[in-house]
């Protein structure tokens, strides 16, 4: 009877004690979260209750397993399995705690600083730091698991002796991966590009959606995802529209007839931007920038707080200005001029018309009669 009751008591008490400690810890974190709403740390720590309970249960079972006298023939295997579960759950818990601390610090920083560029830079660095921490903890946990096997401990000396050769071979074989790894760290701490930046790469306009240690994802305006190695941003030129501030200046070109009312277009542009919520109120203007034999080029300049809003302002100005010209000043639209030209005033010459109806001026000395 004792051989049956003892394992049941040991295993049952370990499970019950784990549940009680886990419930008490979660209750304390919940109260701390309600008491200190200014920081999300306590609420984020509650995400680690599953690995926390696994650590407790594995530690209790591993500690009292010898007293349980359960499955004596498989004592070594079960003990090693519990040790592996303890190491894995401990690594999981460390990653969850580190993630809670880092995310809480980032949230507090974003709340205190209102500069979007600085916030995006910190967000990029935080995400890459968490990936590095997770990788290091995973490698250490895996190494600790391997060391629980006697064969691996015996092979440790030979592995250390050949570490130099293996390192050289691995470095040559993983040259591209290592280059991406160091490029990712350079991007994170060199402030070259950040999550949320508006960039133009290979002629594609988009927003940086994700940055890892090896690749970077750009989300284009039509919801496509462009994935490229991070070494691209350290070896090739690219446009970063968010660098130095998110405010942008946009330009809209119009090709109109020479008779277009430029001053009225300036007043209409002012009315359009004032009614557009995306305009930031910094500047607007309209000037004639070029002429051709048939049209003149008019440039409208507008401003906005970021790339998304500048796109909205530009399309709004373009649509409403063309509609206004069509309805109020249709003569200002580009056209093929077939009317007779007005002759320049002169007493020594006269105008003549060619077969297409165009007039040309002729001097009396030209010999044309």
Distances (CA, A) of 28 to 14, 24, 282, 308: 21, 6, 51, 44
For position 154, what pLDDT does the model report? 58
In terms of C-beta density within 10 A (0-12 exposed, 13-18 middle, 19 or more buried), how is residue 205 classed? middle
User: Is the pLDDT confidence value at 220 over 50?
Assistant: yes
Considering the chain, tell me which residue range(s) the CATH 3.30.70.100 domain(s) occupy. 248-332
Quote the pLDDT of residue 177.
57
Q: 10 Å Cβ neighbour count for 184?
A: 24
Q: What is the CA radius of gyration of the chain?
A: 36
Distance CA 297, CA 59 (A): 78
User: What is the residue-averaged pLDDT of the chain?
Assistant: 75
pLDDT higher than threshold 60 for residue 165: no
DSSP letters spanning 200-243: EETTEEEEEEEE-SSEEEEEETTS-EEEEETTHHHHS--EETTT
Selected from 3.30.420.40, 3.30.70.100, 3.10.150.10, 3.90.950.20, the CATH number assigned to the domain covering 248-332 reads: 3.30.70.100
For residue 16, give the nearest of 4, 24, 26 by alpha carbon: 24
Q: Residue 89 pLDDT more than 70?
A: yes
Between 190 and 232, residue with greater pLDDT? 232
Q: Are strands 198-201 and 204-211 parallel, antiparallel or unpaired?
A: antiparallel
For residue 10, pLDDT over 50 is answered with: yes
User: At residue 285, does pLDDT exceed 60?
Assistant: yes
pLDDT tens for each residue of 324-348 = 999 999 888 887 766 665 566 654 4
Is 320 a residue whose pLDDT tops 90?
yes
What is the C-alpha separation between 256 and 9, in angstroms, rounded? 91
Does position 298 have pLDDT exceeding 80, yes or no? yes
Confidence bin at 115 (pLDDT 50/70/90) = low
Q: Which tokens belong to 132?
A: 């590095």
Strands (E) across the chain are located at 198-201, 204-211, 215-220, 225-229, 239-240, 248-256, 279-291, 296-304, 350-353, 359-362
Q: Is the pLDDT of residue 361 over 50?
A: no
């Amino acid at each position: 009877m004792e051989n049956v009751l003892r394992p049941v008591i040991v295993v049952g008490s370990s499970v019950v004690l784990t549940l009680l400690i886990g419930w008490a810890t979660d209750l304390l974190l919940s109260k701390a979260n309600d008491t200190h709403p200014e920081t999300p740390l306590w609420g984020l720590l509650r995400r680690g209750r599953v690995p926390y309970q696994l650590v407790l249960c594995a530690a209790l079972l591993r500690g009292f397993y010898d007293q349980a006298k359960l499955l004596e023939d498989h004592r070594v295997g079960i003990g090693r399995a519990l040790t592996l579960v303890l190491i894995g759950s401990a690594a999981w818990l460390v990653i969850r705690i580190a993630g809670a601390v880092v995310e809480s610090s980032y949230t507090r920083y974003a709340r205190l600083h209102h500069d979007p560029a600085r916030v995006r830079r910190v967000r990029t660095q935080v995400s890459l730091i968490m990936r590095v921490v997770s990788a290091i903890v995973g490698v250490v946990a895996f190494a600790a698991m391997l060391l629980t096997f006697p064969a691996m401990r015996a092979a440790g000396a030979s592995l250390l002796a050949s570490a130099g050769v293996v390192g050289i071979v691995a470095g040559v074989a993983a040259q591209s991966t290592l280059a991406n790894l160091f490029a990712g760290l350079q991007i994170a701490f060199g402030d070259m590009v950040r999550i949320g930046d508006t960039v133009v790469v290979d002629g594609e306009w988009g927003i940086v959606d994700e940055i890892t240690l090896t690749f970077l994802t750009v989300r284009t305006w039509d919801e496509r995802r462009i994935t490229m190695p991070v070494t691209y941003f350290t070896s090739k030129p690219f446009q970063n529209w968010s660098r130095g501030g998110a405010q942008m200046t946009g330009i809209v070109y119009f090709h109109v007839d020479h008779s277009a009312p430029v001053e009225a277009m300036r007043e209409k542009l002012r009315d359009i931007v004032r009614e557009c919520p995306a305009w930031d109120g910094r500047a607007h203007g309209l000037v004639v920038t070029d002429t051709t034999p048939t049209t003149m080029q008019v440039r409208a300049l507008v401003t906005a707080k970021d790339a998304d809003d500048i796109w909205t302002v530009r399309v709004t100005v373009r649509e409403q200005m063309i509609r206004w010209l069509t309805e109020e000043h249709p003569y200002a639209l580009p056209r093929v001029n077939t009317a007779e030209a007005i002759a320049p005033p002169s007493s020594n010459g006269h105008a003549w018309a060619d077969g297409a109806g165009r007039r040309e001026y002729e001097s009396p000395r030209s010999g044309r009669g």
